[in-house]
Each structure stands twice: as C-alpha cells, then as structure tokens.
C-alpha cells in the first residue's frame, strides 16, 4: 500500500514536470517515465480486503464487551434468549450476527455506541436445528430463537448448568433434613450481602438462645 502511494506521487511529479518541459528530448524522457509508472501502478496487486470485524476493532481500539446478562424462555419448538442492549435497533441489521451450531451459538454485535458486544453459549443442553434458528432485533433487545430438534422441555440452557444443579441437589438431598437446611443457610450466607449475613446471624443467635432457655427441643 505504501509502495503504491509512492508510485502515485512519482507519477504526479512527472506529469507536473511535463507541463513545464519545453525541450523535446526532455519531454520524451518524461513521457516514457510516465508510461512506465502508469503500467507499474496498474500492475500493483489490489489491496487485500480487510476483515470487517478487525477493521472495526482497530477503529474502536479493540474494545469488545462480553455480555453476561440475559433472560430465557421456551415454547414447544423454541428456546428463546433475550439480551438487552440499548439502541440496538438503530444498527444496520448486518451488524448483529449470530452463528449457530447444533449445540452452540455465538452472537456478535458490531459498533454499538463505539463498542463491540459478544456472547457465546457452548454445550447447549440439547441439540438445535441450525436452519430453523434465527435472531430478531427489537427495541433495546435482541431475541435469539434456537429451534429445538425435539419438542421437549429444557430444564436449563446448558450442560454446565445441568451439572451444577445436580451437584447442588445432591448436596441438599441428605438423610438429615436439618443438615439440608443448614447447607442452604450456609450457601445463602456465603453468597449474600451484608444485610443477608446480619439477618442469618440474628436468626441463628435467637434460635440458640431459645434452645438454651428450653423453649424448643434440642434436637431441632
């Protein structure tokens, strides 16, 4: 590309010299040089088309945001994923791309308010039909429609979610119901904010006090 710019500048200068040249010999030399430069420019390989996303990324300083928030729903035939993005309806339709495979999809939203947005779902719980799946652009929202291969209810979206649900269930499915309750309380405590922690601590202290006063049996 730089080399082509240099050739074009040389050609411009040769043309300028030609307009001022009066001696035939000088003119002949310049005309020959002009033809040589024009041929060289013509034979330059065309500029390589730049990958669109790469071009936009460089113009955006490579700023790509990963989308983590979504909602989902299902019908007999479709699993629907709702992704909120302010102003997405103002983009050209080709800026919102979704690639589907039988067990995954990835979304790329290009150049929305100076940023790219991506979201990937791998290991979907069950297979989907690539041809039957699509996306719809709504006001401030993208709706990804995954066509189910079989009309059956999905308990969750991905294999990973299913496994983590099963592990949680196994942890709470203990013979001792009070132990199951303790596990739930521990989890709520671990994941809760300060207010939640205070509430659980208070409830715990009060239940211990009642035990000591003999208001409730010790084995509960």
**Residue 179 and residue 143 share a domain:** no
CA distance 114 to 59: 9
What is the pTM assigned to this prediction?
A: 0.51
> 25: domain range?
1-43
- The predicted pLDDT at position 1 comes to 55
Residue 94, both tokens: 């080709």
**Residue 13 and residue 85 share a domain:** no
Report the CATH number at residue 133: 2.60.40.790
- The predicted pLDDT at position 2 comes to 58
Distances in whole angstroms, Cα of residue 172 to Cα of each of 43, 64, 186, 190, 204: 74, 39, 11, 16, 19
Beta bridge partners of 62: none
Query: b/e for 39-70, b at 16 or more Cβ within 10 A?
Result: eeeeeeeeeeeeeeeeebbeeeeeebeeeeee
| 55: in domain | no
CA distance 85 to 66: 12
- Per the structure, the count of domains in the chain is 3
**Residue 187 and residue 163 share a domain:** yes
**Residue 120 and residue 83 share a domain:** yes
pLDDT digits (tens, 9 = 90+) for 138-191: 999 999 999 999 999 999 989 888 888 888 777 666 555 556 666 777 777 777
| 50: in domain | no
Kindly state the average pLDDT of the residues 117-137: 93
């Amino acid at each position: 590309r730089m080399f082509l710019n240099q050739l074009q500048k040389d050609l411009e200068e040769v043309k300028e010299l030609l307009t001022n040249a009066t001696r035939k010999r000088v003119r002949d030399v310049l005309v020959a040089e002009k033809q040589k430069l024009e041929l060289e420019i013509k034979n330059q390989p065309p500029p390589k088309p730049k990958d669109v996303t790469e071009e936009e990324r460089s113009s955006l300083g490579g700023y790509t945001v990963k989308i983590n928030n979504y909602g989902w729903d299902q019908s007999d035939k479709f699993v629907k994923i709702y992704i909120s993005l302010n102003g997405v309806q103002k983009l050209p339709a080709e800026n919102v791309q979704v690639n589907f495979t039988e067990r995954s999809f990835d979304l790329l939203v290009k150049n929305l308010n100076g940023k790219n947005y991506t979201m990937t779902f791998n290991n979907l719980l069950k297979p989907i039909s690539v041809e039957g799946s699509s996306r719809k652009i709504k006001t401030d929202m993208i709706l990804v429609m995954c066509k189910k291969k079989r009309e059956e209810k999905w308990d969750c979206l991905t294999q990973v979610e299913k496994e983590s649900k099963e592990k949680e269930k196994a942890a709470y499915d203990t013979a001792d119901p009070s132990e199951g309750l303790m596990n739930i309380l521990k989890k709520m405590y671990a994941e809760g904010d300060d207010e939640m922690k205070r509430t659980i601590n208070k409830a715990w202290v009060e239940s211990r006090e009642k035990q000591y006063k003999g208001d409730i049996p010790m084995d509960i």
